A and B are shown apart, each in its own frame.
Chain A
Amino acid sequence: MYSKGHRKFGLRRRRGFVMKRVGIGLAALALVATGCSSTGNSSSPTSSSDTPTSGSSPVDSGTGSSSPTDSGSPTSDTPEPTISLSNTGPVSIAWWGADARNQAMTKVATAFGSENGVKVQTQPAEFAAYWDRLTIETAASNLPCVVATNTRTNGQYEDKGAFIPLDDLVNAGVLDASGISETALNGQRNADGKLYTIPHGFWFEAIVYNETMMAKYDVPVPEQGWTWEQYVDWARTAQPKLPAGVYALNDRSNQAVQFQAYVTEHGQTLFAPSNTEVGFTQETLANWFSMWQQARSEGLTPTAELSVQDQQAPAAAALIATGNVLVSTKSDNYLGDFQTGLDAINGGTLRLLGLPTGGAPQAIGSNSWSISSNCEDVKDAVAFINYYINNPSATATMGGQSGLPVNGSIMELEASSPDVDQATKDRIALLQSLEANGAKTDVWPANSSLLETQLKSIAEQVWFGKVSPDEAAAFLIEQVNDALSNNG
């Protein structure tokens, strides 16, 4: 058929062709696999579970049945609202949290479902994975009906039109936010003046200290109103009294919310009023890194390696919860998880103080509920939010794990109830004292999530001496400003 020469030529050509085809095919596969592995893994660390309730089909569960509190809610005075709400399909509810919080939240959602004959789908996830999932669901307009966010993240979803404005529902009393203070509610508003989120739990960053260990090692308790510099100086006096393996401070230099308190202390803000750039100077951030670097080199904080490990440990296994750290700074609603860890080793009792800000009012945050724009069961979504924020038994089940009660009368009730543990009462008292000092809800602008993620990453580089504090500060500000510039 072919001569030898032809055959060789043919083979060469075929190999060339095959090579090209394989190349193109592999190239195509490359991108697909890149995309696939990304999305595929976003859900891997998460869990989700359906919580079918006794009601086999969704039935009406108007706000009337959602057990508002006895705080003189205006719902009864409001004429029957003319707003018509969609009401098809199960109401899906998504939030983040560790095991204990997930269990409590699932319990509340299930109770809501069975009390109102509503079919509920719960979609919990671990913190980091939760936001990855929301990002994808937002882009795909496929969000759950009721979405949990917080004041650090609301903005970016609101600005993408992911949530429906709730003003009309609140004004008509359909969504019963009457128990929430005006200040708190208005603090949630987007820059466009609309309300897309209803707070469902207040939290604040706090000094968490181990009272028992302090007494044991004869270390004085830090004072509220200190500056960060005083806080680190305190550690200098405390460290010599501590045994090996116990550190005076937890290194929290990678936490944007702690840095915010430092910025506040220095009379600056995290974001400029225009929300298009950061509101602090490079020097402030570099000083922040340097302060912690100095503390680390003096052995007042765990080593960089230990701190990395601490970042990834569940709250009940964090260094403060294993008795390896005397004082940490963390959101108050983690107190329970930390205490659980300490209780297991009989490690003492934890107490809270406001963050070091040099006396300036610190920021308060809230976790909130929103209703997604693609929700097809707004009626039950509203009913769930009403139930969650206004029903004392729901609040009791949560035990402050997703923040302190937002309904003023329920908070008062818990502050004096014999059924509520002392830790929660202390948290309420501290929140009230911070508010009395001028603390306000602080909502972060859209495109600001980079500040949190990049600060974590760059701070680790400083920990390990890969970059200097100055370089780290310049790098972070450049990155965050680039993202914030999209707000212009």
Chain B
Amino acid sequence: MTEHQLPEITTERHPQPPSRPRRTAFAKRENAVAYAFLAPWLIGFFGITLLPMLGSLVLSFTNYTGSFTKMKWVGWKNYVRMFTIDPQYWASVRVTVLYVLVSVPVMLIVALLVAAALNRGIKALGIYRTAFYLPSLIGSSVAVALLWRYVFGRPGLVTGVLGYFGIEASSWINNPDTALYTIMILNVWTFGTPMVIFLAGLRQVPRNLYEAADIDGAGRWQKMRYITIPSLSPVILFNGVLATIGGFQAFTQVYVVSGGTGGPADSTLFYTLLLYQRAFAQSQFGYASAMAWVLLIAIALVTAAVFASGRYWVYYGNEG
């Protein structure tokens, strides 16, 4: 563009071109209005999210136990202690990683299978969809976690049913070898959210691909393997990332099921639960802040890794 063309274009857009100062005033006013509308979010973001986050970063280098007068700068001590001394820390990492590795894939597979089953033009789909989605709404509630104690506890639903068939079962929740699996089952049970998203994704898969596959004589499994899953891969990535992040942050269910202890024998001591205990039961806020930052970085890294892996298996249709 040459210089003399610029006013021409401007003139076209604004039949009566405002003088430069007036434009600035208008822009300023416009900006002010925009900021006014943004204010609730800005206040929330800076006041409730960013500042406390930075605050916790500072605390993570101190021995803060709830009293600023006694607070001392301890450098990397909290981090060193976490990685080298605190055996409960690694126990909680083991529990959390195992939980994510097992419950996330299982939940996604269950969600995908149920979505595929519901996507076959059955009658009263709305009712089924609602019924399967419902646990997602209530599954993370305290009430359901309490209910879980009665499903897997003793006396409880599971032991009762097994007992009816003459199988002597012990309480799953009070046994350190099985307690974590009861929490995993509770999490898998809340597969409704990814299922609904899968269902929406399945609707987007072009019919003609299946028709072409039918003509080529592909079976049900081949259609699933070569059409459905590649077409759904962006949705799988999305659901996978959300479920992974959710898995690392799981708290409510295990807090209620274990009575806040992470027991029996630390078998359900999730990372977030240990963080909570260190902070709010033992007043080690500095140490807990350090734990929170390590969790944040770990989740960011895992999320980035999952996204990066998408390059090799996520199919966006218009590429390749």
Contact = CB atoms under 8 A, between A and B. Distances in A.
Interface of A: 8, 11, 19, 22-24, 26-35, 37-39, 41-42, 44-45, 128-129, 131-132, 135-136, 138-139, 156, 159-161, 304-306, 308-309, 311-312, 447, 449-450, 453, 456-457, 460-461, 463-464, 466, 475, 478-479, 482-483, 486
A36 to B, nearest CB: 9
Given A31-B293, A128-B259, A37 B53 contact: no
A31 B303 contact: no
Interface stretch (B126-134, B184-192, B204-212, B273-281): B273-281
B150 interface: no
* Cβ-closest 3 pairs across A and B: A160-B67, A27-B300, A139-B66
B272 A27 contact: no
B282 A449 contact: yes
A306 B53 CA distance: 42
Given A160-B67, A308-B174, A464-B265, A34 B282 contact: no
Interface of B: 48-50, 52-53, 56, 63, 65-67, 69-70, 81, 85-88, 142, 153-154, 170-171, 174-176, 241, 245, 248-249, 251-252, 255-256, 259-266, 272, 275-277, 279-285, 292-293, 295-297, 299-300, 303-304, 307, 319
A27 B296 contact: yes
Contacts of A138: 66
Nearest to A129: B260
Given A308-B264, A309-B153, A482-B81, 7 more contacts: A23-B307, A26-B303, A27-B296, A44-B256, A311-B261, A457-B263, A460-B266
A41 B249 contact: no
A34 B275 CA distance: 9
Contact of A37 (B252, B263, B307): B252
Q: Summarize A's interface: helix, strand, loop or mixed.
A: helix
A461 B304 contact: no
A128 B280 CA distance: 11
Nearest to A304: B264
A156 B283 contact: yes
B148 to A, nearest CB: 13
A26 B245 contact: yes
A449 B281 contact: yes
B266 A31 contact: no
Contact of B285 (A39, A139, A450): A139
Contact of B280 (A19, A38, A44, A309): A38
A312 B285 CA distance: 26
17 contacts: A8-B319, A23-B300, A23-B303, A26-B300, A27-B303, A30-B299, A32-B49, A34-B272, A34-B292, A35-B52, A35-B56, A38-B276, A139-B285, A453-B277, A457-B263, A460-B176, A478-B85
Given A34-B249, A457-B262, A486-B65, A44 B171 contact: no
B1 to A, nearest CB: 16
A30 B300 contact: yes
Contacts of A22: 303, 307
B282 A30 contact: no
Given A28-B49, A38-B251, A304-B264, A135 B281 contact: yes
Contact of B265 (A31, A159, A463, A479): A463
A247 to B, nearest CB: 16
A138 B281 CA distance: 12
B300 A131 contact: no
Contact of A160 (B48, B66, B175, B281): B66
